Structures are given as C-alpha cells and as structure tokens.
C-alpha cells in the first residue's frame, strides 16, 4: 500500500470559520492553509463545506432467499443534476441524531423506510461520499433480514416520505449493477461488497 502523506489535522492552519447559511443543514466557510507535498504551506484558501451530519446506511439481505431489500424515492439532488428520472434506487439510510449510534440508525431506518427488521449487522466501511464539499461520513452495513412479505409503500408522513419498497434476487441485482443501474455511491459499494462476501455471509447466517 502507498504510504499516506505524513500530515494530520493539527498541521492545518485554520484562520477563520463562518456559517453563512443554516437551516436543517448548514454551510460553513473555512479560510485556511495546509501543508504542501513538496514542502511549505499553501496560500490562504477559502473552502465551503456542506455540513450534513453523519449518516448510516444498511442493505437488508435475506441469506435464505438470497434477496436484498431496496427502496426507491424522489431525490431533489438528482432533479437538480438534470436526471430525467430523479427517483433513485437505494439502500435504506438516515442521519445519526444526537445520542444515537450508527447501528441504532440503520435498525430504525430499515423499519421506517422498508417495513422490515434487521437482526445481525455486518459492518462494511465508513465512506466519505464527497469529501471535497461535504463533511458527511456514512457508516455502511449489510443486515440480516427475511424478505418474506416485504414490499409496498412506506415512509413517515411527517417527513413527507413516499418510498417504494421491493425485493430483488442477488443474480438480478448483479445484472443491474453490470448495466450501470447502481445509482448511488453507498448503494454501489454495498452491492459489490455483498458480491465479494456473499458466500461467507450465507454460511455465517444460515
């Protein structure tokens, strides 16, 4: 493995930090300098960071039926990007609230968004989906579930959620991934992680 740069956050010279926008999410503006790979320090640079909070995502997997549970919902970011079909296929996910753990979040969100429960959880990784612009870090899991009777429309009315829930077999999921149908970074990583670890996971969970 290539050695990482010998820098830490303590080497960054934070000159100022402001918050020009704050609602449910916020935007922070940083003026800073950081070490350069060839030595010395950078000039003062200004960087805006979208502060979304930490989140967690879980791909529910039934090792007996060899199926996963996926959700589909409207995403304004896809609309803003010009996507002709801004309803995206995803794994359930949610924001980690104060006092919660990532495991708390995925168990809650799988129930609220997909109408099923997960028992065993297998940690996959922590992912920065877009570290050039947001501080968000996603804790990702695959969770053991039963897909029997899973489906329909779910979500919380108070959050204006309109979520279609469906199941898909592993082979069909891989075909979808091969055709470029994995529409989100966290989803794609979870699908590919399952492909690499499916046999071991089925042996462990069955």
The tens digit of pLDDT for each residue in 58-108 reads 999 999 999 999 999 999 999 999 999 999 999 999 999 999 999 999 999
Q: Is residue 1 scored above 80 in pLDDT?
A: no
Residue among 161, 54, 57, 61 at smallest CA distance from 112? 161
Of 60, 88, 63, which is closest to residue 75 (Cα–Cα)?
88
Q: Is 91:58 a contact under the CB 8 Å cutoff?
A: yes
The closest of 127, 4, 21, 120 to 63, measured between CA atoms, is: 120
Residue 5 has pLDDT above 90, yes or no: no
Mean of the per-residue pLDDT values of the chain: 95
What is the spatial distance between Cα 64 and Cα 20, in angstroms, rounded to a whole number? 51
Of the pLDDT bands very low, low, confident and very high (cuts 50, 70, 90), residue 30 is very high
Name residues whose C-beta falls within 8 Å of residue 25's C-beta, 6 or more positions apart in sequence.
50, 51, 52, 53
Tokens at residue 67, please?
């199926």
- Structure tokens that stand for 89 in this block: 């296929």
Q: Does the predicted TM-score (pTM) go above 0.75?
A: yes
**Which CATH number fits the domain 55-205, given the four candidates 2.160.10.10, 3.90.79.10, 3.40.50.720, 3.40.47.10?**
3.90.79.10
Q: Any idea which residues carry the catalytic annotation?
A: 159
Dihedral sign, Cα of residue 81, residue 84, residue 90, residue 96: positive
Handedness of CA 150, 121, 107, 192 (dihedral sign): negative
């Amino acid at each position: 493995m290539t050695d990482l740069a010998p820098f830490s956050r303590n080497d960054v010279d934070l000159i100022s930090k402001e918050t020009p926008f704050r609602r449910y999410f916020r935007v922070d503006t940083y003026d800073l300098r950081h070490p350069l790979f060839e030595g010395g320090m950078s000039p003062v640079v200004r960087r805006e960071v979208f502060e979304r909070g930490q989140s967690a995502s879980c791909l529910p997997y039934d090792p007996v039926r060899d199926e996963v549970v996926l959700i589909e919902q409207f995403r304004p970011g896809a609309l803003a990007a010009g996507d002709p079909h801004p309803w995206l296929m995803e794994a359930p996910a949610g924001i980690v609230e104060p006092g919660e753990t990532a495991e708390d979040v995925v168990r809650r969100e799988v129930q609220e968004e997909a109408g099923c429960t997960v028992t065993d959880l297998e940690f996959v990784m922590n992912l920065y989906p877009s570290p050039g612009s947001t501080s968000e870090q996603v804790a990702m899991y695959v969770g053991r579930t039963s897909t029997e009777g899973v489906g329909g429309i779910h979500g919380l009315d108070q959050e204006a959620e309109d979520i279609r829930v469906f199941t898909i077999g592993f082979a069909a999921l891989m075909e979808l991934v091969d055709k470029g149908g994995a529409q989100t970074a966290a989803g794609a990583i979870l699908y590919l992680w399952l492909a690499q670890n499916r046999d071991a996971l089925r042996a462990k969970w069955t």
